[in-house]
Structure 1
Amino acid sequence: MGVFYETIPETLIDWIRAQNVFWVATAPLSGSGHVNVSPKGGKYFGVLDERTFWYLDLSGSGNETISHLIEPGNGRITIQMNEFKRAAPKIVRLWGHGLVLPRESKDFNHFVESQDLHDMLRELPGHRSVIIVDIHQVGSSCGFSVPYMDHAGFRTTLNDVYAKKDKKFREGNKDESMERYWSYKNSWSIDKLPGLPNVVAYGKRNKIEPITKMVGPRAPQTHPYTKLDSNIMIFMMIVWSFLAGVLITLHFETLLGLITDFVPPAMIDLLTQAIPQTKA
C-alpha cells in the first residue's frame, strides 16, 4: 500500500544512502516532447537533509536531464529507487525540482568544498555537474513485483573511458577536452532543447557541429532557437506593437475611461499628454 510524505522520513534516509542504483526521470514541458529515464549507478549521491537529495552527474552521450531542468518554467524531476535484496520489498520515489550546478561553476565548487568531494572528483574526470533535488513529495510503495537481484559490482567502463580521455588531453591533445565532447554530444536534447549555455557557446565559438540524435520523420527538424525563429518572433512583435498602437489611437477615450479607476491620476495625465500627439 502506498504511503506519502512531504519530506524524507528518517527511517528511509539510511536505506536511500545504501542503494547501488537509482533512476532519474524528467521531461520537457512540450506535450510532444519525450520523457527521459536514466539509470545511475555508483556511490555518487547523497541526502543532505529531509528535503534535499543530490547526485554527481557524469558525462555521457545524452543530456536530457540537464536540458529539462534548465528549460524555463520546468525543472521537474523524479528519483526512483527499488529494493532488490531479500528484504521487505519497497519502491521509493522522490518528487521535486532539480538545480544544475555546472562543473567548475562557483556553486559547483562551493558544493564540492562543503561536501568534501575532492577525492571523488579526482577519480571521476568525466564528471559534468551536480544535480540538487529540492523535494516536495516522497512516496513509498510495495514493490511486490520487483525481482530479487544480487549486486555483483560496479562497472568501471565509463570512468576508464574518461580517464584515458583526460590523460590524452593533459598530454597535449586538445581534441580530447571535455568541453569539445560536451559541445558535440550535449549541446541539444533529442527534442532540440539547449544544453548548458557554456556548452552551446563553446560549440558555436569553435564551429563544432552537434551530433544528430533522432532520425526518421518524427525527429525534430530544427533547433528551437534558430536565426529563422528569432526573425519570425521579432516580426511578430513588430506586428503586434503596430496593431496595439492602432487600437490605442482609434479607441483612446474608451480605453482611458476603462482604466481611470485603476491607474493613478499622475499616470493618466502622462497618457493624455502623450497619446493625443498620436491621436491627432
Structure 2
Amino acid sequence: MGKQFPAMLPEHEAFIKQQRIFFVGSAMAEGHVNISPKGHDVFRIFSPTEVAYLDLTGSGNETSAHLTKQDRITLMFMAFEGAPMILRLYGKGRVILPSTPEWDRLIPHFEPLPGARQIIYADIHTVKTSCGFSVPFFSYEGERETLLKWAAQKGEQGLDAYHREKNTVSMDGVVTPLGQQLASSSRSGEGTD
C-alpha cells in the first residue's frame, strides 16, 4: 500500500540520490501525454518541496511545451537494485531558460554538460511511495556518453540550429519557451549574422 506525504522526508531524498534514472510525466488538457526518461547527474533537490533538473537537448521538447499550458508535472524514481520502491513527486513545474536571472542563480548547482538547453523546476505538493514489487532488477553499467558527445560535436551554432529545427514546437503544435525565446531573438536581430 502506498504512502503519501506533503514533502520529501530525508529518507526520500536519500533514495532519490541513489537512483541513476528518473522519469518525467507531463500533459495538457488535450493532446499527447508525455513520459521522458532522464539520465546523467542532472537532478537537484533544493528543499523538501523544491527540485529541478538540467534538461539536455533532445529530439523533442514536450515537457517544456506542456508546462506553458498546464503546470502539472510528475517525477518518478524507482529502485532497480536493493529494496523495492517507487517514489513519485507531484508538483507544479516551470521552465527556466538560459540568459535569465533565475538560470544564473541555479546553473552553478549543476555540472556543466554539453547540450544543456533549460532547467525544469518543480514546486512539490505531494510525495507518494509505493511498493515497486514488480519492478525487475537491473544493474547499472554506466552512462551513455552518446548525447554528450553529439552535443559537443554540434557546438553552440549547431545546437542553436538543432533547437530551431526540433525544439521550438511540440507534437501538438504548442510553441515551447525555447521557441518563444528563439523567435524573439530572431525578431530583434540577435543570433543572426
Q: Same fold (TM over 0.5)?
A: yes
Distance 2:114 2:83 in 1: 37
Is 1:135 matched with 2:124? yes
- Distance in 1 (CA, whole Å) between partners of 2:165 and 2:79 is 37
After TM superposition, where is structure 1 displaced by more than 4 Å over at least 4 residues in a row?
Answer: 202-206
Give how far 1:131 is off: 1.0
Distance across 2 between alignment mates of 1:84 and 1:139 = 18
Of 102, 106, 125, which aligns to 1:107? 102
How big is the alpha-carbon RMSD for the aligned residues of Structure 1 and Structure 2?
1.6
Structure with the bigger percentage of strand: 2
SS of 1:53's equivalent?
A: strand
**Contact conserved, 1:91 with 1:142, CA < 8 A, in 2?**
yes
Separation of aligned partners in 2, 1:57 and 1:68: 14
Name the CA distance, whole Å, in 1 between partners of 2:8 and 2:141. Answer: 28
Which amino acid in 2 is paired with 1:139? K
TM-score by length of 1: 0.64
**Whole-Å separation in 1 of the counterparts to 2:20 and 2:120:** 17
Alignment map for 1:1-280 (pairs within 5 Å):
1-30=1-30, 33-71=31-69, 74-85=70-81, 87-113=82-108, 115=109, 117=110, 120-121=111-112, 124-166=113-155, 174=157, 176=158, 178-196=159-177, 197-202=180-185
TM-score by length of 2: 0.91
**What runs of 5+ residues in structure 2 fail to find an aligned partner?**
none
Compute the displacement of 1:129 (Å).
0.8
Instruction: Evaluate the alpha carbon distance shift between residue 93 and residue 107 of structure 1 in structure 2; reply closer, same or farther with a 3 A threshold.
Output: same
Closer, same or farther in 2 for the Cα pair 1:112/1:12, shift >3 Å? same
Could you say which structure has the higher helix fraction?
1
Q: 2:120 corresponds to which letter in structure 1?
A: I
Runs (5+) with no aligned partner, structure 1: 207-280
- Counting matched residue pairs gives 187
1:99 CA displacement: 1.6
Q: Measured at CA, do residues 20 and 37 of structure 1 come closer, stay the same or move farther in structure 2, by a change above 3 Å? A: same
One-letter amino acid of the counterpart of residue 108, structure 1: W
CA contact (8 A) 1:83 1:91 kept: yes
Cα deviation for residue 199 of structure 1 reads: 2.6
SS of equivalent to 1:193: coil
Which deviates more, 129-138 or 97-106? 97-106
Identity of aligned residues (%): 36
Query: What is the Cα deviation at residue 104 of structure 1?
Result: 2.5
Higher RCO (CA 8 Å, separation ≥ 6 residues): 2
In structure 1, distance between residues paired with 2:128 and 2:145: 31
Which of the pair has more CA radius of gyration?
Answer: 1
